[in-house]
Amino acid sequence: MLKTEKPQKGSAHDQRVVEGGAESRWDPLTGNWTIFAPNRTDRPDEYESQVDTQTRTIECPFCPGNEDATPDPVWVGRVSDEDSSIDILNPSSALPDKEDWSVRVVPNRFPAVDPVNGSVTRAESPELFRRAPIRGGHEVIIESRGHHQSLTQLDLAELNLAFTAYRDRLKYWRSMPGVAYLSTFKNVGGKAGASLSHTHSQLIATDRIPTAVRASVERMVRHRASTGCCLQCDLIRAEIKSATRMVWRDDTLVAYCPFASQMPMAVRISTIEHQARFEDLNDAKLEAVSRRVQRIVSWLEKIRPGTAYNFCLHTCPPGLSDATDAYHWAIDIFPRMTQLAGFEWSSHCLINPLLPEMAAAKYRVCARAEDPRVRP
């Protein structure tokens, strides 16, 4: 049997950034190495295109007045015009006016998974050709009545309402028997996998934990068992101490560019205090997270105008609920600047042309331009 490669341990501090040369960095959350090759940004590029543009316009199914183009909502929220207070409606009762909404959540018309209560039975299949139905839910969170493309164009009240929708729908799906994994994400621009431009995010709940997610949680559980600490709590403490990859922090939240980022300009946001589930955020923290996500995306758009980007919300998988002392929720935000090419598809080892120390420095310039008192 083959032995698993053990990365070498040592005492030198991580502050020494290799300038120009290629280096590889190990991600303790995934066990993957990322190759950093800063000189590759100097390559001539015949296909270069920074801005992601729409190629055609369709009648937008997410705009007010087109509510019948989507299935009936499962969640509706309204922001009061007078005092910006939030009002959550129960769509199981008849709505006074189907066009009266600020944020609405609807089942995806083109779901990636079958309904969790569907009649499909788990198929059996031979050893080499294993197959099974994939069940759960696939919902779209329509974040605004306005035909905006990025969450930076939303009122903070709208964005806070969208984050409230994430929290409510995550709680709903977590309570659903059989749901093992929850993925909440946002695709902005065609390069980020969006098919519609009207600002929206998605939630997919599945009855199976993806292999890589399980492996990553197993790493966190092993770290907790061997050290008594949450791996991400340890990482956050180390990042705050190191300061070189910090983007922003206050007493509650932290945003940093991860040491082994697979993608250039990637930022991770989380609570400094240990918390396994995003859904357990209270109203004040939820509002602070939505505000911080908006600021960071605005900095990204200042650095790379018109960029396509994703955001991925990681919360403790319901199928691994005994991992709550080891798991730590996080939101990852990253623009789509590079394409996965043959090497990455072959090796699953990504080549990142930008060191996270350089990325964090760019973000900090934007943060300080807004508030010179910003730490670190």
Rule CB under 8 A: choose which of 55, 92, 93, 282 binds its own copies: 55
By beta-carbon proximity to its own copies, the closer residue of 27 and 155 is 27
Place of tokens 């960071």: 296
Q: Are the CB atoms for 199 and 154 separated by under 8 Å?
A: yes
Consecutive H or E run containing 139 = strand 135-142
Rule CB under 8 A: choose which of 270, 290, 307, 310 binds its own copies: 310
Quote the CA–CA distance of 289 and 291 in Å, as a whole number. Answer: 5
Quote the CA–CA distance of 334 and 192 in Å, as a whole number. Answer: 10
Site string for its own copies, 80-109 (x = CB under 8 A): -----------------------------x
Q: Are the CB atoms for 279 and 170 separated by under 8 Å?
A: yes
By beta-carbon proximity to its own copies, the closer residue of 38 and 77 is 38
Q: DSSP 3-state assignment of 36? A: strand
By beta-carbon proximity to its own copies, the closer residue of 263 and 281 is 263
Q: Which of 242, 269, 265 is nearest to 254 (CA)?
A: 269
Q: List binders of its own copies among 189-248 (CB under 8 A).
A: 189-197, 201-202, 204, 208-214, 217-218, 221-222, 225, 234-235, 238, 242
HSE-up of 302 (CA within 13 Å, CB side)? 14
Structure tokens at 228: 């008594």
By beta-carbon proximity to its own copies, the closer residue of 193 and 283 is 193
79-87, 139-147, 283-291, 308-316 -> range binding its own copies (CB under 8 A): 308-316
23-31, 75-83, 88-96, 365-373 -> range binding its own copies (CB under 8 A): 23-31
- At its nearest, how many Å lie between its own copies and the CB of residue 2? 5
Task: Please say whether the dihedral angle defined by the alpha carbons of residues 80, 83, 84 and 85, taken in this order, is positive or negative.
Answer: negative
91-99, 119-127, 161-169, 368-376 -> range binding its own copies (CB under 8 A): 119-127
Quote the CA–CA distance of 164 and 83 in Å, as a whole number. Answer: 17
Rule CB under 8 A: choose which of 127, 175, 177, 305 binds its own copies: 127
- At its nearest, how many Å lie between its own copies and the CB of residue 3? 9
Residue 76 has what DSSP assignment?
E
Q: DSSP 3-state assignment of 258? A: coil
Structure tokens at 177: 């028997």
72-80, 290-298, 330-338, 366-374 -> range binding its own copies (CB under 8 A): 330-338
Quote the CA–CA distance of 250 and 325 in Å, as a whole number. Answer: 23
Which residues, 6 or more positions from 348, have their beta carbon under 8 angstroms from its beta carbon? 32
74-82, 117-125, 155-163, 294-302 -> range binding its own copies (CB under 8 A): 117-125
Q: Which of 175, 11, 142 is nearest to 69 (CA)?
A: 142
Q: Are the CB atoms for 323 and 7 separated by under 8 Å?
A: no
Q: List binders of its own copies among 139-178 (CB under 8 A).
A: none
93-101, 180-188, 299-307, 363-371 -> range binding its own copies (CB under 8 A): 180-188
Does 46 participate in binding its own copies (rule CB under 8 A)?
yes
Q: Are the CB atoms for 233 and 270 separated by under 8 Å?
A: no
- At its nearest, how many Å lie between its own copies and the CB of residue 331? 10
By beta-carbon proximity to its own copies, the closer residue of 300 and 366 is 300
Structure tokens at 61: 């199914």
Q: List binders of its own copies among 336-375 (CB under 8 A).
A: 336, 338-349, 351
Q: DSSP 3-state assignment of 272? A: coil
Rule CB under 8 A: choose which of 63, 89, 323, 374 binds its own copies: 323
Q: List binders of its own copies among 274-303 (CB under 8 A).
A: none
By beta-carbon proximity to its own copies, the closer residue of 52 and 158 is 52
Rule CB under 8 A: choose which of 68, 90, 128, 228 binds its own copies: 128
Does 324 participate in binding its own copies (rule CB under 8 A)?
no
